Chains A and B, each alone.
Chain A
Amino acid sequence: MRPMSPYVGLEPAMWRNLLALATIFHATRTKLCEFCIHIDENRVVQKVMLDLELHAQVCAAQNLDDDETVNRVISGWKGQLDNVLGLQLETDIADFLTELRTLMCRDRVSDPFRKIFDGVAKLASAVYGENWRLPTLEVAHLGRHPRESSNDAYAVTAATPWPPDEASAEVELRIYCDRFRPAAFAAVPMLLTHECVCHVPARQDRAANDSAFAEGLLDWTAYVYYENWVVKLDRELAPAARQHADLLRRVLTQADGPEGRARRLGHLAAEYLQAWFEDSCEQPPAEAKKTVARLAVQLNIVDRPLSHKDHFVSLVSWPMRPVVANALSKWEYDEVSAEVLLDTATGLPLP
């Protein structure tokens, strides 16, 4: 039987290529932070990375099954590392490559992407409870870098095609295979967290990349959860996953264009809300931060047009408009639901 790809959006050869790389990144995850730095700064490690990419491509094209492909990539790359280690290297590079060589065979999983996704989805489902939609993962190939002009290390993005079914949603992880390196792999948990917190359970009429609510306030919330989840998801990947989530956040929030602005505006709104809960409700900062996250999650599942939720974000300011402050106060005291808060604060007629 011909080897297949488990993902509709990936050719079998492309899948095996990604699988081999992801398997090695997963196995060496405790060293990914260092790996990224060395790729940026050290020619020997750059060459080692190129060797791995080339070798993965060659093996992936051979129509072998998944296990055999990964075995051959690992054994081939191990041989190449041995050759490099036979050269005279700086001590820290030699130590690093030796560690990579030792680590690369351990912790094999059949699909590293699904492993991360299942962990994120399980944690997100606890946040949304009965409002959770059952998500499925798709991995797809991108023909170019998602932010071509910036050419950053994160050649990967994710999306939740709209509209989802009432009870389920599909999350698509899109990877530019030619640039899928350790930094991109380490950013995958945050990208999937963003999709699961912001979009999978959302109840609204549409999706919009320039939404200050969906891409801004909720993105801030996704990071709040991620801080708490990163170790639970994978203790060994956590240092790299945390570092690259922060770097990715910087890349995305600094981006020009409507998406970057929506993100920044939504983050601003979250910071104002946090300050308001601290100041007006006398919440300690740690509680206020989580209260904003709880509010964002509740608003996300209120069945109202996305424009109403963006309108709410536009009302969040310092000082807070009295009608909004009053509605927030009642919500904070559990006197009204998030739905009533949204309708009262915005004053918009129901669609």
Chain B
Amino acid sequence: MSKEQILAAAAALRQFSLDEIAAFCDEQPLRIIEVLESVPDAIERTRVDLGGRWRVVDRDHLRRILRRTDAPRTLVLPRRERDVEERLWHAEEMLVKCGAEPSADQRRVLVVTAVNHLCQVLARDLPGKPDWWTVELDDRLTDLITTARLRLDVAVARLAVGNVAGVRMPIDELIDMVTRFRDETMRLDADDRLRRLVRGFVELVTAHLAPIAESVVNQLLVAVARRRVRAQVGFDLDAAMSALELLVFLLGQDSEHAPVHDLYRMLDRLPDGSERSIVYRDLLPLLPTQLRWHQQQKERLPGALVEVAGEPAVSHLLRNCAGRLEWDLRRARFQSDRGLIGQAAHVFQQLAEQGADRDVISRSDQTRAELINLAKMPVWPTLLTRDSVGMA
């Protein structure tokens, strides 16, 4: 046994010192030398002056000796189920996590790595079991895959690949994918693993949406909306998927019809004298308790814009706060979503403290804390243009 180990080590190392080969086998130096010198046709000594080096001169001969001592050769491969399970988990984890990687180059490598693992799993599920490196993550693949879980994985992978390549998915395809994904998600148990995958999906889908206009207001509203929908996945998966569908539909519209433009916009005055408006929902906690207003249940932009109707003083206050927030956002010149949300949280604190209303301060504190959490959330960066994939 020990002779076999020494010769195997020699065959693997090819050229080696006594220390090097000793680290590769469990024998003492004198025994190692004895074994090496017992096969002069296969191994020869060189550089005696430097404490002794050896080199393998006939590897085939050495292997023949090894085979004589080795047990009959049977190739041992890992079990297929073990391979599939590990790769799938790893691929899913990577696809979701690598969005937080700050370097765009690194992110590309991580996505390709995850896709490699996923393709190896897919190849075993596809008809004819093709070589995994020939599997293409295109739309046709979805119809061939037999399990809902893998279809979800492919959707996330396709979005991730598009994100790092800077290639935007057409809006119709995106809407179709979200609808299909929502249906597939409902068929599966909403465990932590699925929720992580859906969070990644929400981030990636919303990252693919084209910016409606170059404005800090738009950027803030979309940033808050996508993060809130992502957070919603943790406690209400179905509602989150519905919100995502609406978000994609609304943000996918052309600029003229898109709901995102302002932090506050008055719609009309109702016969009872109250005013109806669309407002950034985080401004509402700034309204003092004595003012009368009510909110429509359905959000105009999930997680960001709501419709309210209330007495004129409500509109007046909301308009002022929105103006102040917008002015501050423009002045601060933050480019990242994270910076904008953080700045918004800071402005809310100032606005709340101006009124010195305890209820307002308490409610605004909650909003501020939530916004700071949203800002800290690591998400996939929004897709800007080809080759300009930045950090959210």
Contact = CB atoms under 8 A, between A and B. Distances in A.
A293 B13 CA distance: 10
Interface in B62-112: 63, 66-67, 70-71, 73, 75-78, 82-83, 86-87, 89-90, 93, 105-106, 109-110, 112
Interface in A155-188: none
B24 interface: yes
Interface string A283-296: 11111011101100
B357 interface: no
B12 A294 contact: yes
Interface string A208-238: 0010100000000000010111111000000
B113 interface: yes
A287 B42 CA distance: 15
B117 interface: yes
Given A283-B63, A284-B67, A285-B73, A307 B23 contact: no
Given A262-B90, A283-B63, A290 B20 contact: no
Contact of B86 (A264, A287, A305, A334): A264
Nearest to B101: A307
Nearest to B63: A284
Contacts of A265: 86-87, 90, 117
Interface in B14-29: 14, 17, 19-20, 22-26
B26 A305 contact: no
B317 interface: no
B133 A321 contact: yes
A284 B13 contact: no
B332 to A, nearest CB: 32
Given A283-B63, A287-B63, A314-B116, A275 B76 contact: yes
B83 A228 contact: no
Interface stretch (A59-67, A100-108, A123-131): A123-131
Contacts of B4: 286
Interface residues of A, number: 50
A261 B9 CA distance: 30
Contacts of A210: 93
A86 interface: no
Contacts of A129: 20
A189 to B, nearest CB: 14
B70 A286 contact: yes
A278 B70 contact: no
Contacts of B133: 321
A286 B132 CA distance: 29
A231 B117 CA distance: 38
Interface string A325-338: 00000000010000
A319 B131 contact: yes
A262 B109 CA distance: 17
A258 interface: yes
A85 interface: no
B166 to A, nearest CB: 16
A238 B67 CA distance: 29
Given A228-B23, A229-B26, A321-B133, A287 B66 contact: yes
Contacts of A275: 75-77
Range of interface residues on B (Cβ < 8 Å):
35 or more
Contacts of B12: 283, 287, 290-291, 293-294
A271 B78 contact: yes
Contact of A272 (B13, B20, B25, B77): B77
In this complex, the member of A210, A279, A310 whose beta carbon has the largest number of chain B beta carbons within 10 angstroms is A310
B225 to A, nearest CB: 29
A314 B109 contact: no
Nearest to A310: B113
Contacts of A230: 26
B11 interface: yes
A126 B20 contact: yes
Interface in A248-280: 258, 261-262, 264-265, 268, 271-272, 275, 278-279
A311 interface: yes
Given A283-B11, A334-B14, A311 B109 contact: yes
Contacts of B14: 334
B25 A228 contact: yes
B382 interface: no
A95 interface: no
Contacts of A315: 116
B20 A311 contact: no
Contacts of A268: 78, 82-83, 86
28 contacts: A126-B19, A127-B24, A225-B23, A225-B24, A228-B24, A230-B26, A231-B26, A258-B93, A261-B93, A265-B86, A268-B82, A271-B77, A271-B78, A275-B75, A284-B11, A285-B70, A285-B71, A286-B4, A286-B8, A287-B8, A293-B24, A307-B109, A307-B113, A311-B112, A311-B113, A314-B113, A317-B132, A319-B131
Q: List the 9 shortest-distance A-B pairs measured between CB atoms, nearest first.
A: A286-B8, A290-B12, A314-B116, A126-B19, A284-B66, A307-B109, A126-B23, A287-B11, A287-B8
Interface of A: 123-124, 126-127, 129, 210, 212, 225, 227-232, 258, 261-262, 264-265, 268, 271-272, 275, 278-279, 282-287, 289-291, 293-294, 305, 307-308, 310-311, 314-315, 317-319, 321, 334, 348, 351
